[in-house]
Structure 1
Amino acid sequence: MNNLKKLEVPFCNTTIQAIEHNGQLYVSMRPICKNIGLQWGSQYNRIMRDEVMKTCVFIMKTQLDGDIQNRDIVYLPLSMLNGWLFGVSTKKIKPELKDKLIKYKRECYDVLYQYWTKERFEFMKEINKLLFEFHYEKEGASQAGRILSNWKRIKPRIENKLHSLMNQSQLQLTV
């Protein structure tokens, strides 16, 4: 536990306990479930069934105050907490938290919509602009390359003709 750093993280107008492990923030899931009225065992099973969340779980054995034996504490990356909470049914939480969770879910829908539409649209617009510029400049470089290649081919012929004419004109002056 000496390489873990305990922190408090602001989340949805409250503070949750977190730890830093290998440069990433993790939250203990059991207290969060308890605070919103969810059964921990069911939520643990739900996390472990999820193809993404189960790969990110960090389990640490620790001795809680007053306990003789070590217990498993299940941590989920803070970055996964929104996805987990978004999947919580409002029918399974404390009634006094239902409105707050519904409001949170609406915000999640809006944020996802903004991400996949507005922000992605601006991002794709910038990519398309750069692609157009790239192809325009590439075409210009290709034309310049063709002109240079043509110049290399005709330059010796023009120089030879010029030298020949200059030599002829000098011969005529001396005669």
Structure 2
Amino acid sequence: MNSLPIADHTINVPFHGASLYVVTYGGEAYTPMRPIIDGMGMDWASQFTKLKQRFKSTVVEITMVAADGKSRAMTCLALRKLNGWLQTISPNKVKAEIRDKVIQYQEECDDVLYEYWTKGEVKNPRAIRKSTTEERTPLRDAVNMLVSKKHLMYPEAYALVHQRFQVTSFEQLTPEQIEPAIEYVHSIILEGELLSRDDRQMTLPLAYPMSFYDQYRHVIKPTELKAPWTYAAKHLIPNGDNPNPLGKILTQLKDFGYEIEAARFQLLSLQHHIEIMQHKFESIERAVMR
């Protein structure tokens, strides 16, 4: 890795609810990795080894002035490669309080790659300004009235709005959609334009056929999908490359207002124990091969 002089300038940018220090040099953006890895509660030595092995061509040592005024060499990764590194992280190895964020991020990356390879383009939903919590308050008040007047469950009421505006959560509504959404809810209350219970259940976009695994052909062999017992245990460990349809379903149900914490807790526990057993088997295998 080459050593670069002190960077032109350093800026602080938001990144999925956190902040990154981005150093610009020669038209290329880099981010110091030690603060990110330490902040996620992971072992720096093992991640440093991974960076040198898998991202060698895009890792540099940049001398930066720290908060105490002293110059220090920082291991930095090209910002354009940060997504790739984050996809290699096992959620079970990060702090519990940020585990859901890592899982959500990796699932979003899976969806982005799928959109790119199947449709040839990806639209960033964050490119359009979303409504704020304050802007959505009147809509939630209208939903509360709908639930009370029509004796609905909250997920059912949310699903009506989600289906009408082609979103999976209220947070995705734009400011311009709030007023029409309120009018739609009021029309249901006044005119009784309710779907049957069976139709409401059909509004949940939960479809995970076996073709879901087609996008993971680079990881899973066709023979592993013949029967449950042929599916390798290593694929059950969330590491960014493996499929996680159960995690996606739970995320969608959560977006629809369902309480799924216990189910997610059990899923994460199962994945954690599988990962531990996998490491034990690998240790035994290495010992036998000596």
Contact 2:13 2:19 in 1 (8 A): yes
Name the SS of the counterpart of 2:89 in structure 1.
Answer: coil
Aligned to 2:177: none
Q: How many residues align?
A: 117
- For 1:91 and 1:3, the matched residues in 2 are separated by 34
Give the one of 9, 13, 30 matched to 1:9.
13
Q: Is the 8 A contact 2:31 2:79 kept in 1?
A: yes
1:31 to 1:83, Cα distance in 2 relative to 1, 3 A: same
- CA distance in structure 1 between the partners assigned to 2:90 and 2:44 by the alignment: 14
- Which sections of structure 2, spanning at least 5 residues, go unmatched? 122-290
AA aligned opposite 2:107? R
Name the structure 2 match of 1:26.
Answer: 30
Q: Could you say which residue in structure 2 is the equivalent of 1:36? A: 40
For 1:16 and 1:82, locate their aligned partners in 2 and report how far apart those are by CA, in whole Å.
Answer: 13
Change (3 A) 1:85 1:94: same
Q: Secondary structure at the match of 1:101?
A: helix
1:36-80 deviation line (CA, Å, top 9, x unaligned): 111111111001111xx1101120234645587x54301111111
- Out of 45, 49, 64, which is 1:45 matched to? 49
> TM-score w.r.t. structure 1 length?
0.61
1:101-156 CA-to-partner distances (Å, cap 9, x unmatched) read: 11111001000000111126xxxxxxxxxxxxxxxxxxxxxxxxxxxxxxxxxxxx
2:120 and 2:58 map into 1 onto residues whose CA distance is 27
CA distance in 2, matches of 1:34, 1:74: 13
- The answer to whether residue 76 in structure 2 is matched with residue 72 in structure 1 is no
More strand by share: 1
1:2–1:54: structure 2 CA closer, same or farther, 3 Å change rule? Answer: closer
The residue aligned with 1:112 is: 113
AA matched with 1:89: S
User: Does the CA-based 8 Å contact 2:87-2:106 persist in structure 1?
Assistant: yes
The answer to whether the 8 Å contact 2:40/2:94 transfers is: yes
CA distance in 1, matches of 2:61, 2:7: 15
CA 1:37–1:109 in 2, change beyond 3 Å: closer, same or farther?
A: same
Amino acid corresponding to residue 21 of structure 1 in structure 2: Y
Q: 1:2 to 1:59 in 2, by over 3 A?
A: closer
**Aligned pair in 2 of structure 1 residues 2, 45: CA closer, same or farther (>3 Å)?**
closer
TM-score (norm 2): 0.38
Q: Is this contact kept in 1: 2:6–2:63, CA < 8 A?
A: no
RMSD: 2.0
Q: CA deviation at 1:91?
A: 1.6
Which of residues 59, 62, 68 in structure 1 aligns to 2:61? 59
CA spacing shift, 1:114–1:94, aligned 2, 3 Å: same
Distance in 1 between the 2:14 and 2:68 partners?
Answer: 28
Cα distance in 2 for partners of 1:28, 1:48 equals: 14
> Which residue matches 1:103?
104
